[in-house]
Structure 1
């Protein structure tokens, strides 16, 4: 599947004249973790997530100079640049890519240059959804939603299943605002594996948090570019 940002960024200019968002579109979704886990201490411990008949270890990660944090499986590793170039051939490939050992499940983040006010995010999400429906080989459109996650972050979610080389792919995109600009996160896995990995995707979305800049330099994993 072609990397989505190539289409998104090329059509970005068409999104300048946006209407004021309707705040009634914003609603909460059921939390899978307690808010107390999402303060500064969350980045000092791992979590166990019950998946099917086993427990999966999740670890806290910070990216983009320590200002964004979230939980992902401990077994996930940064995708090497040479593999990222093959999987995401567009020059607009994500800045941050984590992948499973089989490279069938990917979690990515990409900060954009799109400036946006908080109240404009719902309309922006719907415009993005329209673009995706027009450029992607959609097999099952699962819809959009504005949510407020456990950390209080307003997030636009877009979910769909699209055709891929190795089978249909489940895609979940998270759009949120950081420092006045849109950041796009994505989770993808084979549709056949969705039942197993959906709890991980949900925990990832709920744990996503914008953090104060750290007072010291941090070593970050998952960066595909300097």
Structure 2
């Protein structure tokens, strides 16, 4: 077994469970970090979704070392709800959900160490794992991007069958301090086009912070 295969196996059960739970329960590049004044100025940013302007706010992950923006209407999923939706002990540590619980964004560190230049191969192998274990209805594909802060992110996109509906899924994989971090975004396939701007904003807003934390950012209750 080669080095990359070991990483893939260590993540297979965690990733498969996270995606399956969503489907069953739904009714290192240099980082050009903006300065602190820009963070404060962007606190009241909005995102256009069709004819609506959705207010955004910053959240921190990884012990205040990274941040991303999300609609203000999203909130941390209650522990009781997360235990029901993600019954495994491997549930994501941070789960933000929409008011009706149909749109979710999660982040979770993994135990896999990886160099940034190994990430593209890792993403493709994870995609192969997903295709083999998930009830995929529509495989959209994989993509490697460098977001506006300079963070390299691998994205896997697909639609999977749920209990009574199909769900759109995005898996985000990036490296932080040599460790693979996995994020997910999911919503009902019927709402996919409406929510894609939020998924894109999550990807593009991810950035490392120049200081450990910022008092105006909300930190997850089960902080990564």
Q: Same fold (TM over 0.5)?
A: yes
Q: Aligned with 1:11: secondary structure?
A: helix
- Of residues 76-85 and 45-54 in structure 1, the stretch that sits farther from structure 2 once superposed is 45-54
TM superposition outliers: structure 1 runs of 4+ over 3 Å: 35-43, 215-226
Q: Is the 8 A contact 2:59 2:220 kept in 1?
A: no
Q: Aligned with 2:194: secondary structure?
A: helix
How far the C-alpha of 1:165 sits from its partner, in A, is 2.2
Which residue does 2:51 correspond to in 1?
53
User: Which structure has the highest helix share of the two?
Assistant: 2
Which residue does 1:114 correspond to in 2?
112
How far the C-alpha of 1:217 sits from its partner, in A, is 7.8
Give the structure-2-normalised TM-score: 0.81
Q: 2:161 aligns with which of 163, 174, 195?
A: 163
Q: Is the 8 A contact 1:79 1:222 kept in 2?
A: no
Taking a change above 3 Å as real, the CA distance of residues 124 and 9 of structure 1, as seen in their structure-2 partners, is closer
Separation in 1 of the partners of 2:198 and 2:86? 23
Q: Is the 8 A contact 1:137 1:162 kept in 2?
A: yes
- Give unpaired runs (5+ residues) of structure 1: 1-7, 15-34
Q: 1:84 aligns with which of 79, 82, 85?
A: 82
Which residue does 2:193 correspond to in 1?
195
Which residue does 1:40 correspond to in 2?
36
Q: How many positions carry a matched residue from both structures?
A: 199
- Of residues 128-137 and 207-216 in structure 1, the stretch that sits farther from structure 2 once superposed is 207-216
Give the structure-1-normalised TM-score: 0.80
- Give unpaired runs (5+ residues) of structure 2: 1-5, 13-30
TM alignment of 1:8-23, pairs within 5 A: 11-12=9-10
Q: Is the 8 A contact 2:47 2:55 kept in 1?
A: yes
Separation in 2 of the partners of 1:71 and 1:168? 26
RMSD after superposition: 2.6
